[in-house]
Amino acid sequence: MSLLEITGLSLAIDGTPILQDVSLSINAGQIVAVTGESGSGKSMTALGVMGLLPDRTTTSGKVLLDGKDLLSLSEADMCRLRGNAIGMVFQEPMTALNPVQTIGDQVAETILIHGAMGRKDAYARAAEMLTRVGLPPDRFPLSRYPHELSGGQRQRVVIAMAIALRPRLLIADEPTTALDVTTQAQILELLRDLARDFDMGLLMITHDLAVVADMADHIVVMRLGEVVEQGPTMALLTNMQHEYTKMLFAASSHEVDLPYKSSTDVLLSVTDVRRSYVLPRTRLFGATGRFEALKGVSFDIKRGERVGLVGESGCGKSTLTRAILGLDAVQSGSITLSSAPVFAGNAPNLAVRRKMQVVFQDPFGSFNPRHKVERLITEPFHLLDVPPTGAMRQALIDETLLAVGLEPSDAQKYIHQFSGGQRQRIAIARALIIQPELIVFDEAVSALDVSVRAQILDLLAELSNKYGLTYLFISHDLSVVRTITDRVLVMQSGEIVEQGRTPEVFARPRHPYTQQLLKAAPVLPDLSHLHMMTDQKDLST
C-alpha cells in the first residue's frame, strides 16, 4: 500500500470548482513532483493533504495517509498529524518563520507541542536537526534569529522544523524559487538526501521543470485543477502524450531570436567603483568594522548592447544596481551615462536619471493599486522638462501599450485586473514610455511561469529590434541570461570575476566561480537524445 494515496479529489470554494478528480500516490522514500503553471491547483492539492483549506470549502474523494482518510478527520486529529506525520516546507522562509523567536525555539516548538520529549531533549533534537540541514550549532547557535541568516539558511531552518519529528510525508511547496543557483542546488540535494535517509515520501511542488527532471522519481502535470498527465520521470520525458506537457517543456528551453547589434559607442561606464557599509559594534566600546559591498567594479555597456549580471545573493548586485540608477552614492570611482556622471557631487544628476528606467521583479508590488494603467505607465513623465499633453500624450500611451502586446483600452483598467505576465508587460511599458537610453531589468522574469516567461523574453527581443534597447539584465536564472543577453558579467563578493560574450562564457568558463555556478544550475535533459536512446531500445527488442 502507498504511503499517500489521493483518489478522485475534487474541491470547490463557495461553489467554485478548484480541483477536479485529482489522483496520485507516493511511496515511502519516493519523490513525486507536481508541476504546472500558476492556478493549476498544485498548492491547493498540498493544502488539501495538510487540511489547511479555506472556509466554505467542500471536498469529495479520498486522501489516504497510511490507509487513514485525512478528509474525514477532525481539526484536532489533523493538528496531531501536522508536524508529526506530515511536514511542510513553504515557499518564503521569512514569512514562515517567527521573527521574534530564535531558530532553536522554533525547531524545538514542533517537538514540544506534540509532547514527543522533554524540553532538554527537544533542544538536543533541534540541534541535531539543524546540524542535519547544514547549520551546526558551533557555527549557527540556537540563539540566532531569522534576520541574522541568509535566504538559503532560513530555508534550511524551515526544513529542520518540518523534519524535527521525522514525518512519514514531507511536502515542499516551491522551496527554491527565490534562491540563487548554488543555494538551490544545496537545498535540493538536502531534500533528496532526507527522503532517502529517513525513508520519507516527498511531494515537491514546483514550476521549474529542470528541477523536476533532475529530482523526481515520478511527475504529475496539472492544468486548471486537473491532472493531465503523470508517470515515471524518464518514461514521461521520453513519451509526452498531452499537448500541455509538451508546451511546458518547450517553453522551459525556449530561446529567443535576439537581433544582432554592433556598436563601439560606450553608453554606460562603471570605473573602479567602491562602496562599503559600517558594521555594528560587537562590543560596547569596540571599533566599528566595514563591509565592502563593491571592491573596484569596472565595466562598460555599449549602446544597443544587452548585458547580463549574475551572481549569488550577497555578491553586490543590488548595491551596484542602486549605484547605477543614482539611488546610492559610492565612496570612490565613477559611473557615467553618455559621458555624464550619474552623481553630480553628492546629489544624483537628474538630467542623467531621466535617461534610465528599471523593471522590478514583482510588478504588482511596484504599482499603486488605486491608479489606472494610464496613470501608472505615465509616471516617468515627471522626469521630463516638458511632459507631453493632450492628443500627443494619448498617442504615446496607445503606442506604448501596443508595443508591449496590450490594447489601448487597457489604459482604463486597474492593475488587479491583469495576470502576472500582463502586469510585467505594463511594467515594461512604464519603463519604455519615455524612450530611456538604459533599462535595468532586476529579476524581471524570475516569478513568472515558464510559458509567460517565454512570452516576455520574446517581447524583449522584439522591442530590442524595434527600439534598439540597451539593458542590464540581472537574474539568478542562467538559462534566461544565456538567451537574452549579448554579454555577461559574473559577480562574486563585490567583484566582477569574469566577463565576456555570453556564448563564450557559458561554453568555456574560465573562473572557478563561474564554473561552480554553471555546474549548480539545473538543466533540462536533452530530450532528443533520450528519444534516440528509447528508439534504439525499441529496435533492439
pLDDT in tens, 423-467: 889 999 999 999 999 999 988 887 788 888 899 999 999 999 888
- Res 155 pLDDT > 80: yes
Give CA–CA dist 168/517, Å, rounded.
Answer: 33
The mean per-residue pLDDT over the stretch 187-195 comes to 90
- Yes or no: say if 454 and 484 are a contact pair by the CB < 8 Å rule: no
- Res 537 pLDDT > 50: no
Burial (CB < 10 A; 0-12, 13-18, 19+), residue 301, is: buried
Please name the residue ranges forming H helices in 341-487. 350-353, 373-377, 390-403, 420-432, 450-467, 478-484
Q: What is the mean pLDDT of the chain?
A: 89
The pLDDT-based confidence of 533 (bands split at 50, 70, 90) is very low
**Fold of the CATH domain 1-85+170-253:** Rossmann fold (3.40.50)
pLDDT digits (tens, 9 = 90+) for 52-77: 998 899 999 999 999 999 999 999 99
**Domain definitions of the chain by residue range:** 1-85+170-253, 92-166, 266-520
Torsion, CA 163, CA 165, CA 171, CA 175, rounded to 10 = -20
Give CA–CA dist 480/473, Å, rounded.
Answer: 9
Give CA–CA dist 180/149, Å, rounded.
Answer: 15
Cell of 227: 491532472
Location of C-alpha cell 531569522: 146
Residues 6 or more apart whose CB falls under 8 angstroms from that of 318 comprise 442
pLDDT digits (tens, 9 = 90+) for 229-250: 999 999 999 999 999 999 998 8
Domain 266-520 maps to which CATH number in 3.30.70.100, 3.40.50.300, 3.40.1160.10, 3.40.50.620? 3.40.50.300
Burial (CB < 10 A; 0-12, 13-18, 19+), residue 239, is: exposed
